[in-house]
Structure 1
Amino acid sequence: MNFWGRFVQWVTNWDMWLAIALTLAGAWVVIRLSRIGINRFIKGSGRALTLRGILYSLVKYSVIFFVIINILDRIGFDTRSILAGAGIAGLAVGFGAQNLVRDVITGFFIILENQYTVGEYISTAGVQGFVEDMGLRVTKIRDAGGQLHIIPNGQINQVTNFHRGPLLATVDVPIAYEEDLDRALTLLERVCQQVAEEQKELIVSGPQVLGVQNFGPSEVVIRIIARVRPMEQFQIERLLRRRVMEAFNAEGVEIPYPKQVMFMSGLTKEENRPYGVETARG
């Protein structure tokens, strides 16, 4: 039989094409059911999300590999020789796939050591953001600007995880040199107590007034700190600044801003007082 005759016989082999169609449909059903089953039996967030993604990937790629071998076998390829030669081919491909192997091995140890999980905020490979997805080969991170960064696991050499333990909220409050320091410290202590009562769910310890942190050109800087739940430090810092501003306005405590004072030569200090000029607040 010539080539065209064999080709027509192969194309019109409806039993083969039906078997292939049933194999593809069965694979699609298995992948869908596996996803539903994994989501149903592995619930929760964080590490559970990571485990779900890994298991689903393993099932999906295993089914795809089985389908490819099955289809090749039905078409007429000798899959046994293909599988037997996979070892030699794999050795050859391995020299060109070192990065892929490194990514997979690194991903395995990231998961094994629980360095981070889906939903946590991390900094790695020059990127900061929330982990949206992670697998054996890549980690997907969404930064504050909304960009999605897909990082091969082999490039992840160091990880800073912002979700493991309380974080520090820090607020520096400037006080004019002319103000009564003890009075300002008392007001800040009162503000700290108020915020601690308002945010019991978010604050682990504090807030507390550490005291004078620095001396500026026109201000004394007082530092307030608090230990808060992961990723809540920005909210607590904003609330502390607002409460400090409200308290200072109510009690008439001046928050310093740039000033220019002109002195006329030959006049006394009292005579020069009216010439003080304030610049725009900065």
Structure 2
Amino acid sequence: MIIIENIKNWFKNFKFTFGFLVKCILVLATLALYFLLIFGKNFFDPMNDFWRSINIFGTAGEYNVILRLISYAFFLLGGSSIIGFLLKQLSAPMKKGRAIIFMLASLIKYAAVIVLFFFILQALGVDTTTILAGIGIVGLVVGLGAQPLISDIIAGIFIVFEGVFDVGDIIVASGFRGTVMDIGIRTTKIVDAGGNIKVMNNADLRAIVNMTNQLSLAVCDIGIEYGESLERVEAVLSANLEAIKKAIPDIKEGPFYKGVAELADSAVVIRFVAKCEEGTKYQVERDMNRQFKLLFDNNNIGIPFPQVVVNEPSTFEDATRHEQRAAQQFVAEQKELSKGIAETDIIGEK
């Protein structure tokens, strides 16, 4: 098993390294071609066979068809890939508008493929002007059965210009929750927390839930024992909520005490909510669980767990008059502060 695992790891590393080297070679070859197209006339005789073949802008003399096709491919596909890469890198610091950049990069790529197709026909001696004049570009696209493609393109344009979502936004689409990593002219790529990538046609993106535009709600439910004085617990919370907020920097608003959420079989469940960015929501919930557990431990507040009681039940402290007044004031304040913050169904899984 160890040998097989080592072979798999070696093959995975080799595949990554080989792919990286191939990309580097293709980029260097593309840059070399652009250099020759710009400065080649200073190095080659105008009638040189190699120069005439790779010079896609030249029309004089015969040329090698294979070299001309390779030159077309590197000039269009290689150039469009480099331009797309640079556009995406330049858009990385942007918080908004990245979708337009990604759409433009995708459009350049597809346009390069279409132009290359006609250049290949031209290099093979096919009269492309006759083809275009005879059927027209629109007739060609529709004739190839590309109606779904047109729908995807139109949907992609509306997504970008209506600002439905942007690259980097966290959305829920068809039950799949993830971060938008790419918006193309035809498809959109979404990656979830586990690294799984879902590719969806733009026309199939319906009933989108954008989790990024507004702050999300982190909900924390904690059970306390029935024997605990609820007023004493609320008094402890009143004195420590601000410290918990400082301990969790990702909290934007709150945490707020919402009161008793449930009278469960063996616990009184109390609820806390806090507003945060969608990307930190689940971590904030975990941090809140930790902070409230530490707070309850430090104040001898029992958190129930399944057990068989074979001895006398524990005694619990009663709230003092001061704690009762503090609890009443705290509950009233929290109700006022958290008005308009309603717990909703949580989308996705932790």
TM-score normalised over the length of structure 1: 0.78
Q: What SS is found at the alignment partner of 1:56? A: helix
How far off its partner does 1:159 sit?
0.7
Pairing 1:82-93 to 2, within 5 Å after superposition? 82-84=131-133, 85-86=135-136, 87-93=138-144
Identify the structure with the greater strand proportion.
Answer: 1
Change in CA separation of 1:82 and 1:175 when aligned onto 2, cut-off 3 Å: same
Greater Rg over alpha carbons, structure: 1
How far off its partner does 1:178 sit?
0.8
Q: Which residue in the other structure is 1:230 paired with? A: 278
Q: Which residue in the other structure is 2:121 paired with? A: 72
* Contact 1:45/1:118 (8 A) holds in 2: no
Change in CA separation of 1:244 and 1:29 when aligned onto 2, cut-off 3 Å: closer
2:291 paired with 1:240: no
Q: What SS is found at the alignment partner of 1:232? A: helix
Identity of aligned residues (%): 28
Cα RMSD (Å): 2.5
Pairing 1:15-54 to 2, within 5 Å after superposition? 15-28=64-77, 30-35=79-84, 38-39=87-88, 42=91, 44-54=93-103
2:302 paired with 1:254: yes
TM-score normalised over the length of structure 2: 0.64
Q: Which residue in the other structure is 1:185 paired with? A: 234
Q: What SS is found at the alignment partner of 1:218? A: coil
Gaps in structure 2 of 5+ consecutive residues: 1-61, 314-350
Change in CA separation of 1:205 and 1:131 when aligned onto 2, cut-off 3 Å: same
**From 128, 141, 151, the counterpart of 2:200:** 151
Counterpart CA distance in 1 for 2:168 and 2:237 is 35
Gaps in structure 1 of 5+ consecutive residues: 1-12, 263-272, 277-282
Q: Structure 1, residues 22-54: CA drift from partner, whole Å, max 9, x if none?
A: 333432553255236534654524444322221
Q: How many residues align?
A: 250
Change in CA separation of 1:90 and 1:58 when aligned onto 2, cut-off 3 Å: closer
Corresponding letter in the other structure for 2:287: L
